[in-house]
Amino acid sequence: MATLAETYSNLGKWSETEILEMQVLEMLTRILGKEHPDTLSIMNELASTLREMGKWTEAEVLQIQVLEMRSRILGKEHPDTLKTMNSLPLTLKGMTKWTEAEELEKQVLEIRTRSLGKEHPHTLSSMNSLVSTLREMRKWKDAEVWHIQILEIGTRIMGKEHPDTLSSMNNHAVTLRKMKKWTEAEVLQIQVLEMRTRSLGKEHPDTLRAMSNLALTLQEMGKWTEAEVLEIQVLEMRNRILGKEHPDTLTTMNKLALILKKMSKLTEAEVILNQVLGVSMRVLGKEHPDTLSTMNRLASTLKKLRKWTEAEVLEIKVLEIRTRIMGKEHPDTLTTMSNFSLTLKKK
């Protein structure tokens, strides 16, 4: 059952994964006890599944239980405890609990630096996780300092073309882009794309990711046509390799729609977003965060086309779902309320 759950997970079939993992958890708890390592492992897996489904609170509750038991039984510095401490921040970030996530990641980094050394892969992974949080908190300068350290260590130990070094270069470029250091970001991303294309091939997922990231930088530099060309290439390859319903394909379609919208190609953007929404609702479900985000993007495009009634219908749906799931005071709910208010004023 656990193996089948893993297969469903790899296919992105989260509801089926959740059902199976809950059954496995119930049996292991009954047979082995709640604190057995295997029971804690499946609890952790179930928490990851719930997180992927956008069930943040349920995931957080489970992960806190696992962390408490592993800390008590194995000790705070045991690898399994650190693994849980490292995964809990992913859930906290989804709940916009940035400060709590940052604090946990700093603890993990401090322990790994002390026990494994600054240059150990797990320590570097913790550095990257912390940097990701710092970026979300818009602490760009702090993030840049860490990026430089990570890139220096990675280049020295693994070489400039190692996948992890290239990932560090790409992450650094993202931070530079956020700091509006457009040219520096573009130069780094072109290097990453060139090396990934040479070492992995044009159709490798990492190469496609590098192309998409470069397209985003070009977009923010106002180089819309160049960005559009790159994103169309990425979409064509992802459609062919991964299929139209794969999450990465849907993400690319969303990005392309945004570029088209910025270029005032509103009808083309509307067509793409309707396609994404149809697939998202069927594959992910109506209440999934990605589905709701697509609804919002489509509503925004419809407003640009002065299709106020259609936009209003979508925004009412998003507002009802977000209010029910996230609460009235969640930032995403408040943003939806603000957007809906503007729509009503324009009608």
Name the amino acid, one letter, at 131. Answer: V
Residue 340 confidence (pLDDT): 76
Confidence band, pLDDT 50/70/90 cuts, at residue 337: confident
| φ and ψ at residue 99, rounded to 5 degrees | -65, -40
Average pLDDT over the chain reads: 90
Better-predicted residue by pLDDT, 338 or 119: 119
Residue with tokens 């794309």: 193
Q: Work out the average pLDDT over 125-150.
A: 92
Taking only the tens place, the pLDDT of each residue in 90-102 is 999 889 899 999 9
Asked which of 11-25, 159-173, 257-271 is least confident by mean pLDDT, the reply is 11-25
Query: 262: Cβ–Cβ under 8 A, 6 or more apart, which residues?
Result: 219, 224
- The set of residues, in sequence order, having a beta carbon less than 8 Å from that of 227 and lying 6+ positions away, is 215, 216, 218, 219, 259
Amino acid at 205: P
Most confident of 131-135, 263-267, 331-335: 263-267
What's the pLDDT tens digit per position in 209-251?
999 999 999 999 999 999 999 999 999 999 999 999 998 999 9
Burial classification of residue 248, based on how many CB atoms lie within 10 Å of its CB (0-12 exposed, 13-18 middle, 19 or more buried): middle
pLDDT over 80 (residue 347): no
* 47-65 confidence digits (pLDDT tens): 988 998 888 999 999 999 9
- Residue 343 pLDDT: 77
What phi, psi does 117 have (nearest 5°)? 100, 155
Report field, pTM of the whole predicted structure over 0.85: no
Predicted confidence (pLDDT) at residue 10 exceeds the cutoff of 60? no
pLDDT, tens only, 282-315: 998 999 989 999 999 999 999 999 999 999 999 9
Q: Does 75 score more than 80 pLDDT?
A: yes
What does the alpha-carbon distance between residue 213 and residue 39 come to, in Å, rounded to a whole number? 39
Q: Is 73 exposed, middle or buried (0-12, 13-18, 19+ CB in 10 A)?
A: middle
**Average pLDDT for residues 147-169, to the nearest whole number?**
91
279 — pLDDT class (breaks 50, 70, 90): very high
Q: How far apart are the first and last CA of the chain?
A: 53
CA distances from 301 to 4, 7, 294 (A): 40, 37, 11
- For 5-41, b/e burial (b = at least 16 CB within 10 A) is beebbeeeebeebbebbeebbeebeeeeeeeeeebbb
Q: Are the CB atoms for 333 and 298 separated by under 8 Å?
A: no
Calculate what percentage of the chain has a pLDDT beyond 90: 69
Residue 346 carries which side chain, given as an amino acid letter?
K
- What does the block give as tokens for 66? 């696992």
Mean pLDDT, range 97-125, rounded to an integer:
93
pLDDT at 164: 86
The pLDDT assigned to 18 comes to 84
Q: Which residue has the higher pLDDT, 182 or 17?
A: 182
pLDDT at 203 exceeding the cut of 70:
yes
What's the confidence (pLDDT) of residue 228?
97
